Structure 1
Amino acid sequence: MLRTVLFLAWLVVAQGPLLAQDRSAVESRFQLWLETTVWPRAQAAGVSRPTFDAALAGVDLDWNLPDLVPPGAPSQTPPQQQQAEFASPAAYFRPEAVEATVTAGRRMAERHEATLTAVEQATGVPGRIILAIWGRESAYGRADLTHDAFEVLATKGFMSTRAGYFSDELVAALRVAEAGFAPVDGLRSSWAGALGQPQFMPSSVLTYATDGDGDGRIDIWGSEADTLASIGTYLARHGWVAGRDWGFEVMVPPSVSCALEGPDQGRRIAEWEAMGIRRVSGRPFPEAERPQAGYLMMPAGRHGPAFLVTPNFYVLKDYNTSDLYALFVGHVSDRIAFGTAGFAEGWDEMGGLLRSDIADLQRALADRGYDVGGVDGLPGYRTRRSIGHWQEAAGRRPTCFPEPGLLP
């Protein structure tokens, strides 16, 4: 009887986009999707019916999540958002937030010295890097996770801009519950469905979560040792190069174009040095680094600090795709371990641009033949250097960063 009612509701929704926007009809279609699409996939992945029912009992759509596209609605354009990653990189490095993460990280370094040493020996990943990620992701386990993981993943798997990805993660979360990693009725997450102190997506829990305290079980929710070992395992499995740093803050002379940025324009650090790039500390680059590949990274173009980064920087980006995230981790890790100060170069305040404004700029550049890496409203390195190339072609001083009124 229930399936009949749900099927009839689906038929009503299927009549057209306008009807599909009725929330009660969409909710009915959602419940049908859980039963007829998600359950067969979960069952095939080894999830039992009791686990499935316990995880999804009472789960409704969370209409407050971002990037939702209800059935029948037009695809979304980049939203009107004004976040640090989109407009003002300085906001990502608020001094009080950085200092709090560093201070707590130093305490954690002392508390977990033995575990961090063991993890570094096993993975090659420095303990300071692991600590910085832990601090950024969950404030060393102190952050509250306020969302029901199954509700988040089910909602976004049913109606979001990345529905296929989140559908896969929903099935992975059910497998996490089936494996007994965490109580089904207490699986809390971020708004994106990330779990535990390392903030792993469910598929990463299944792949990288590690028993760091030797008790025979994996617990990235309650065990700090398991959390540290899991972060180290993740980075090692994504290609962390043992013995190399993540990068160095540098001074880039005007003779070196900011459009040389990017992981596909690498050259030996000694070559960058020959072009006039120097460490802001005044110290020479380590001899072991000079013959190795380095990459120019200028997250604010000429409006902020510049860096020569190593392949390990891009391993950090595998954890979170934001340049600023990876830079935060590297910077905080240095301050935890070495007591270094803040960036030598300040960040210009670059307010006034929405994500949709940057998308318009990307579209204009793409129409002129530039490779911006996609029209998504995110000023990644391809967008930044395309801005620089366009500025150079137009006879302007290249700044390599989106600014109001940059293109007509």
Structure 2
Amino acid sequence: MLKNLPGLSFRTGLLAFIAVLAAIAPAKASLEDQYRQWLANDLWPAARAQGVSQATFNAAFAGTRLKLDLPDLEIPGKQAPVDGKQHQAEFRAPSAYFQHIGGVVSGGRSMASRHASTLAAIEKRYGVPRGIVLAIWGRESGFGNAKIPHDAFEVLGTKAFLSRRKDMFRAEVLAALKMVQQSGINPRQMKSSWAGAMGQPQFMPTSYLKFAADGDGDGRADIWSSQADTLASIANYLAVHGWVRGRDWGFEVVLPDNVSCALEGPDRGRTIREWQSFGINRVGGKAFPAHELNGEAFLMLPAGRYGPAFLVTPNFYRLKDYNESDLYALFVGHAADRIMYGDITFQTPWRKVDAMTRGQVATMQRSLEAQGFDVGGADGLVGFKTRRSIGVWQERQEVLTTCFPDRELLGRLR
């Protein structure tokens, strides 16, 4: 075709032909351009329908760009690993979660003294013990000292556009826009984690709208720079979720050998008095508080028979509302006790557990599922449903019952 173009060399004709094609077919928009189009044509109408002004919307996204280094993104043309890094990651021993608890405890004691009057008022208003509030504050942001570097709208916008959980982050970015619209917060002040959790209590925007509280009386809930507002917001979150005033979070106990570790779980509650009838008592010969005896409690074994055992109250599960990890809730409860009552340590030691990958744990979970067990999903994480399913399987096989995964069990279940 090009050889027949009159008066043109082959090279010149080729360049002319490419120019004609470029004119006929516009270049494909870049990913950043697609993002801008999505903001204008999709997110903005949804925000406007929820009462967000154009000025607020423009201010929120001014100077922001896609943040493509975030995890959990589906980027066009970039194939995710087949197995994924998380699948290969080592499943950590539960004891590792508590390695740095000392910093939270020492910082919490200092803050308890510095904010004594504020904490007393918050405890009276919300019914949440000050030690719990301080432990969460320390765990989430190092008492406000942790670096929280990301622009919330850059993170939330990117995730609403490209995340595997687009619907969830769409709701969060719309909530963030409402925060700016309703509270007059400067969008550039809204610093977040890589997941979009904001400020010292690490609230997602939907949580901010529901639970952020004014603790210093200035009429605003500033979870970025106000320590009083941060403390009040954490307490309000727990109170609204149903924290039971006057009850503890839980107690370390001695689990007799003849009591099954498969009795664990928030759906298998008994009164503390009933658990005592099984021979379960507090460590060190301590008595349970009299007012707790008729309250419901639940067996919790984060490492099965390889670590401490606990009777936890419904308040333990309010801590899990803040973060769904058993170990997070246990960390907070234990740190709170140490902040308020001294250097309490777990009386039962954490024993060594086999190093395994999350993929290996997931293989075990799928095998148990195939046998009719409810493990809570084959995600490579060892929650209470996986622990007690392992325990029941071990009991049926008449082998040592540990309620925790190990390499021998993996070999048997393959």
Give the TM-score of the pair, scaled to structure 2.
0.88
Is 1:80 equivalent to 2:86 in the alignment?
A: yes
Does 1:299 pair with 2:302?
Answer: yes
In the alignment, structure 1 residue 63 sits paired with structure 2 residue 68: yes
Q: Which residue, 374, 385, 389 being the options, matches 2:388?
A: 385
Please state how far the C-alpha of 1:305 moved relative to its aligned partner: 1.1
1:32 shift after superposition: 2.7
Q: 1:354 to 1:25 in 2, by over 3 A?
A: farther
- Work out the CA distance in 2 between the residues paired with 1:76 and 1:100: 38
Structure 1 residue 74: deviation in Å?
7.3
Distance 2:71 2:224 in 1: 25
1:148–1:76 Cα change, 3 Å: farther
Is 2:188 the counterpart of 1:185?
A: yes
The residue that corresponds to 2:94 in the other structure is: 89
Out of 72-81 and 131-140, give the one that drifted further. Answer: 72-81
Confirm whether residue 373 of structure 1 aligns to residue 379 of structure 2. Answer: no
Query: 1:157/1:361 Cα in 2 relative to 1: closer, same or farther (>3 Å)?
Result: farther
SS of structure 1 residue aligned to 2:140: helix
What are the equivalent positions in structure 2 for 1:4-403 lying under 5 Å apart? 25-70=30-75, 79-80=85-86, 86-94=91-99, 97-180=100-183, 182-350=185-353, 352-403=355-406
Contact kept in structure 2, 1:387 and 1:400, CA below 8 Å: yes
Q: Per-residue displacement from partner, 1:128-170 (whole Å, max 9, x unpaired)?
A: 1101111101111111101121121122222223221111111
Q: 1:299 to 1:181 in 2, by over 3 A?
A: farther
Whether contact under 8 Å (2:95, 2:350) holds in the other structure is yes
Provide the C-alpha distance between the structure 2 equivalents of 1:34 and 1:109, rounded to a whole number of angstroms. Answer: 45
Superposed CA offset, 1:196-230 (max 9, x none): 11111111111111111111222111111111111
CA–CA distance in structure 2, aligned partners of residues 362 and 135 of structure 1? 34
- Deviation for aligned residue 1:348: 2.4
> Does the 8 A contact of 2:53 with 2:181 survive in 1?
yes
Compute the displacement of 1:76 (Å). 7.4
Q: How many residues align?
A: 385
**Letter of the structure 1 residue corresponding to residue 280 of structure 2:** I
When structure 1 is superposed on structure 2, of 48-57 and 204-213 the one drifting more is 48-57
Provide Cα deviations, 1:154-200, integer angstroms capped at 9, x if missing partner: 22222223221111111111111223453212321111111111111
Alignment RMSD (CA, Å): 2.1
2:292 counterpart SS class: coil
Structure 2: distance between partners of 1:36 and 1:184: 21
In structure 2, how many angstroms separate the alpha carbons of the residues matched to 1:224 and 1:147? 20
Tell me, yes or no, if the aligned pair for 2:249 and 2:312 is still in contact at 8 Å.
yes
Return the offset for 1:110: 0.9
Question: For 1:365 and 1:352, how far apart are their aligned partners in 2?
Answer: 20
- Aligned partner letter, 1:193: G
CA contact (8 A) 1:78 1:376 kept: no
Structure 2 counterpart of 1:4: none
TM-score, normalised relative to structure 1: 0.89
Instruction: Determine the C-alpha separation between the residues in 2 that align with 1:186 and 1:76.
Output: 38
Q: Verify the 8 A CA contact 2:190 2:224 in the aligned structure 1.
A: no
The 2-side partners of 1:285 and 1:46 are apart by 52
Unaligned runs of 5+ in 2: 1-25
Extract unaligned runs of 5+ from structure 1: 1-7, 13-23
**Distance of 1:291 and 1:377 partners within structure 2:** 36
